[in-house]
A and B are shown apart, each in its own frame.
Chain A
Amino acid sequence: MGTVSVSEVKPMVTLPGDAVRAIQWRFADRFDLQMLVASARGVARGFVARLVAAGERNTHEWTPAKEEMLQEFDRAGVTAAFMEPEEGGFISGPKNLALSLAAFELAWVDGGAATASLAGFLALAPIHERGTPEQVARYKKLSAPPQPGEDREPWRGAFALTEPIPYVGVDTGMLSGKVRVAEWTEGEEPWLQVDKRGRFITNIAFADFVTAAVNSDDPRIKGSCIVILEEGDEGIFDRGTPTKKLVHQLSATGDPVFNLKVPASRIVGGYTVKDGTMIPNFSHSEVIEAVFRRTRVPVGLMTAAKLLSAVEPVIRYQRQRFRGAEGLNPGSLRYEQGIQQREDALHRLVDVWAAGEAAASLGFAAARLFDALEPLEKQKTAILKERGIQGGRAEMKALRESEERAIELLSLPPDDRRRAELEADRLVDFVLMDSEANVLCPATKLWNTGHGANMLREAVSLMGGYGITEDCPGFLGNKWMDAQLEATYEGPEAVQRRQLTVTMTGEVFLAQFRAWAREMRRIASDRPGTGACTLASAMGLWLWTLNYLRKATDPSGGKLYHGQRQGVTFALADALCWLLASRAQILDVLELEKRGADDPVVAEDLAATVQFLSDLCHIQAAQSAGEVSRICGELVFGYNRHPGWDEEEHRCCFLAAELDEFEEFMPGIAAMAVDVVAADGSHPQKAGPCAGCAGSSEFLRLQSKLTTCLTGSRLAKDRAADTVSKVMIPEALDYPAAGPA
């Protein structure tokens, strides 16, 4: 390697194992989750891997072998992970982290398998979140795998939202389904006629029920809602043709057509009748808001799993690349290290690894947050109900005071007496957590899948030509392609950016963000090698830029930070995601350092593991800082019109004759002047006089400081690369590569 840095700690011995991950991702004390991980891993690296290796991805149709995968999920408890123990599950309480871990394990091998598992939960989620007690009881019971002594097939579900058929001019914001009253006899349950066409609907090949979003097409039904459709309902339940996906072929996707008559009790969450009109208790958007904010996080974690899963096969490939060559003997550097003799190969792998760590940390932080938020949300609703406040707008209004209290809490010094009172306020707690969740969820979905797809391309490239073959160990080519779908389904990137532009400018979130920047400085003071200081500086630059852009206008007087101005808002959202991922990564390493010594298995190699993971944090923080600097620089300066050489603009330039005069009483000024217009009007060969930085000097100061904060980050990369070249890996991957079954 070109640059050698000497670490005081010996290099990490093995790849981080389960015990390390359980501490980092905070489930070391959750045996139910550790078992779910073991169980999902068994299916993923066993049955699912064999399916992929046998070429089962090479068909769009839903085959018996793919069908058997669902039964494997059932038998291994993956399906039951969504249920409460009394419903046939084994995990009590919120299950965001549980489902995320299961998706992570399945996606380690195949994203389609993970999607097949998640899609079932997605179908049930509207019922779980907003269903009536009867709906929850019925569909969860039917969907639970059979218990000992039971002889039945579990029901499978699909979720049909609003994917329009392309090229027909349908706005993606419009619902493609309609509902009207079919029969309504006085004193009896009304019957509905549901007409819905779906596109790209996962699980549709085998779904027994579908939760479908529909709009009212009848004055007797108000607004929109989600209805539950069953295969046995009267009418058309056509599963449509399989989608010819290039990716995720282990999940069943199709374009179904439904025209069904169903009882009104199938409206998710029920309805009330007022003045002869049915009013669904929840609109379709209220239901999907509750659903998607949770289900998008596991998708982000799927891509994170793929990035981390790439590390071991790439290391093995790099080390063994030249073995078997004539005259190459064991013990020689070329034999033992192969491509890992080259710094570039190591550095690029380190980048992939660092991105995977950050993505996993961000996703699991979001999943844990939703677990914590779930009971708090119920408490919030109960508290407000007690105060006679119910409904969306009334609640929002009532929570404004809590938001002010939350902001106050964030600004108080640690020893302030008022802290205790504010910290004990559950509504303040809710407001803080909700604000964070509203940012972390889209950030996970957007950054993990988007940047993750880019980094998976990098991982594929590290395998050379092997990377884009079916034989590639770890199925890296598939994973790269699959990541593109993960970036698209359950709300494509633009939707996530749009959400972020709203939530990241909330006053509570900005107060939290400022507190996080201070927290990073404190961490940097204790743990200087983590990149926390770099990150704090980047956070400062982002905040300054946001404040600037919210006030600034373009040369035409148009506001820069505006909902329609996505060139500004979306870019700033992208920059924020880098910061959030880096922060989560650093916090996870600190957690490992703090708790690792209590676990004898982890303690054995703790110092080296923490050193290596800290180096990855530093590398990632530097990369985040670079991205933030670039994006913010473009936004701050990019909307200024560049001065030209015309009469109007070159007034700020020196004329050659003027300079001669000035030189007499300011010797040397001529050498410093760059934008000089000669008497004949000629000027230096460039676009125009250099743009001024009036009003932006503070930005340049912060940006310049950020640049110097990159100090040491490449040394960290050298150290990490050194570890990657020495770390022990297993003799073989624990799941098969492609080939004859």
Chain B
Amino acid sequence: MSNPLHIVVCAGIVPDPLQTLEPVSGPHGPGLKNEMVLPAVLDPWAASALYEAAHLAAKHPGSKVWLVALGPKAKLQQVMMTVAQKAGFELVPVDGPIGGFPDAHSTAAVLAETISAIAGLDKTRLLLFGGWESASRGAGITLQLIGEILGITDQFQGVDRIDMRADCSFEVLERVEGGMHQESVCAGLPAVLGWATGTLAEPRNNPQTGMSNMRTILPALQKARPVALSGDSLRYVAVSLPRQQRATRVVKDMSPDEIARELVEWMGAE
């Protein structure tokens, strides 16, 4: 196979999921309490996309992976100390606000503009990757919007697998209801793929890969373009964490069938 791919992965950073996340309202709208000081990680959905991108690129010699990330550059730098060890890529950072509450349209516009400006990017060979969801807020539309702005109409969401063919057409598995996958064949590039978890394990840290990536990451971070996202078009009425419920009942000698029936009833009621 000698069809080099140009894969752009859009990935944000989110607070480490183990942290206590508490919504608060600030002068610029809602946010998470102490978000700037909480340790951050690459959004897990987008991270899956990055690992799949690196894997795919390795199978297609001459391919290149860019990681486009919007966030405060100091936080991005911190996250890169781990992410840069996982796979080879070139970082394209955009110095912007942290958090999952900015308007997806504004975010998409900035990211699309950034992608368009990537030097050497061949849009006829482009695979635009990202997460189909986000760990910070599951609007799930940013990637689609970027694709629309860039004029890419072949879009797939909830992707778990891609198999490229020699002619650059590809088969793709998308998640559909009931734990099933829908298999599609796309005639060619460019395309947008919003990844679910994919099939790859998280790569181990490799400091040598990291040091190699850092040669380009650090200068890129220093030159990161600052942006302010417009928030005029979106107003939040209220934000809250999903309600936690604890309704424990101790019952002895209940049969599995009865337990199952009760669970189904409970789920139906929810």
Contact = CB atoms under 8 A, between A and B. Distances in A.
A728 B207 contact: no
B38 A600 contact: no
B74 A77 contact: no
Contact of B208 (A90, A604, A731): A90
B208 A601 contact: no
A32 B211 contact: yes
A59 B13 CA distance: 41
A728 B18 contact: no
Interface stretch (A10-18, A170-178, A713-721): A10-18
A446 to B, nearest CB: 32
Interface string B9-43: 00000001011100000000000001011110000
Nearest to B17: A731
B204 A17 contact: no
A599 interface: yes
Given A599-B74, A729-B20, A77 B208 contact: yes
A187 interface: no
Given A38-B82, A600-B74, A77 B207 contact: yes
B26 to A, nearest CB: 13
Contacts of A236: none
B54 to A, nearest CB: 15
Contact of B37 (A36, A38, A39, A605): A605
A728 B206 contact: no
A35 B20 contact: no
Contact of A80 (B74, B81, B208): B208
27 contacts: A13-B37, A18-B39, A18-B81, A31-B81, A32-B211, A34-B81, A38-B81, A38-B82, A39-B206, A42-B204, A42-B205, A76-B206, A77-B205, A77-B208, A80-B207, A81-B207, A90-B207, A90-B208, A599-B74, A600-B75, A601-B72, A604-B36, A728-B34, A730-B16, A731-B18, A731-B19, A732-B18
A599 B20 CA distance: 23
Top-4 shortest CB links A-B: A77-B207, A39-B205, A730-B18, A600-B74
B85 interface: yes
Interface of B: 16, 18-20, 34, 36-39, 72, 74-75, 78, 81-82, 84-85, 204-208, 210-211, 214, 218
**Which of B74, B75, B84 has the largest number of chain A CB atoms within 10 A?**
B74
Contacts of A17: 37, 39
Contacts of B205: 35, 38-39, 42-43, 76-77
A416 interface: no
A734 B18 CA distance: 7
Nearest to A730: B18
Nearest to A604: B36
A75 interface: yes
Contacts of A601: 36-37, 72, 74-75, 78
A600 B72 contact: yes
A75 B208 CA distance: 10
Nearest to B218: A31
Given A76-B206, A601-B78, A730-B18, 11 more contacts: A13-B34, A14-B37, A17-B39, A31-B210, A38-B81, A76-B205, A80-B208, A601-B74, A604-B37, A728-B20, A730-B16
A217 to B, nearest CB: 45
B185 to A, nearest CB: 34
A543 interface: no
A18 B206 CA distance: 19
Contacts of A70: none
A737 interface: no
Contacts of A257: none
Given A90-B211, A604-B37, A75 B18 contact: no
In which size bucket is the chain A interface? 20 to 34
A731 B21 CA distance: 9
Contacts of B218: 31
Contacts of B206: 39, 75-77
Interface string A695-734: 0000000000000000000000000000000001111101
A527 B218 CA distance: 35
Contacts of B85: 35, 38-39, 77
A19 interface: yes
Q: Output the residue of B39, B84, B207 with the most chain A CB within 10 A.
A: B207
Contacts of A42: 82, 204-205
Contacts of B81: 18, 31, 34-35, 37-38
B207 A14 contact: no
Contacts of B36: 600-601, 604
A39 B18 contact: no
Contact of A76 (B20, B72, B78, B204): B204
A19 B207 contact: no
Contacts of A90: 207-208, 210-211
Nearest to B82: A38
A35 B72 contact: no
Nearest to B79: A38
Contacts of B38: 14
A13 B20 CA distance: 12
Contacts of B208: 77, 80, 90
B18 A18 contact: no
* Most interface-central of B34, B37, B204, B205 (chain A CB within 10 A): B37
A704 B210 CA distance: 56
A597 to B, nearest CB: 12
Contacts of A31: 81, 210-211, 214, 218
A75 B211 contact: no
Nearest to A148: B208
A17 B214 CA distance: 21
Contact of A35 (B16, B37, B74, B211): B211
Contacts of B78: 18-19, 601
A403 to B, nearest CB: 40
A98 B78 CA distance: 18
Nearest to B208: A90
A36 B74 CA distance: 19
Contacts of A39: 85, 205-207, 210
A18 to B, nearest CB: 7
Nearest to A598: B74
B20 A731 contact: yes
A75 B203 CA distance: 10
Contacts of B20: 728-731
A37 B205 CA distance: 10
A348 B206 CA distance: 39
Interface string A1-44: 00000000000011001110000000000011011111100110
Interface in A600-624: 600-601, 604-605
B262 to A, nearest CB: 23
A105 B230 CA distance: 42
A269 to B, nearest CB: 30
Contacts of B75: 600-601
Contacts of A72: 204
B207 A35 contact: yes
A684 B72 CA distance: 76
A18 B79 CA distance: 11
A135 to B, nearest CB: 25
B34 A14 contact: yes
Contacts of B16: 730, 734
Contacts of A35: 81-82, 84-85, 205, 207, 210-211, 214
A474 to B, nearest CB: 14
Contacts of B211: 31-32, 35, 90
